[in-house]
Amino acid sequence: MLIAGATYTRDAQSGTVTVLDLKRPDAFIPEPEVSRDPWAEALEGAE
C-alpha cells in the first residue's frame, strides 16, 4: 500500500518498493486534550 505524501524508490531488478521519506502532515495525530477534573472546576468556581 502506498502512502500519500511519501517519497518512494523502486528497484528495477526486483521491483521492491522502498520508502525513502515519510513526511505526512496527517502522520502525527495529537493526543486528545484531557478534560479537566469537574470537581476542581467546581471548587475554583466556588472561590
Please answer whether residues 21 and 9 qualify as being in contact, where contact means their C-beta atoms are separated by less than 8 angstroms. no
> Rounded distance, CA 21 to CA 43, Å?
50
If you search the block for the grid coordinates 517519497, which residue do you land on? 7
Q: For 6-43, write each residue's pLDDT tens digit.
A: 677 788 888 887 776 666 555 555 566 666 666 776 77
Q: What is the distance between the terminal CA atoms of the chain, rounded to a whole angstrom? A: 57
What band does 3 get if pLDDT is binned at 50, 70 and 90?
low
The predicted pLDDT at position 17 comes to: 78
The predicted pLDDT at position 7 comes to: 73
Cell numbers placing 47: 472561590
> Rounded distance, CA 5 to CA 19, Å?
11
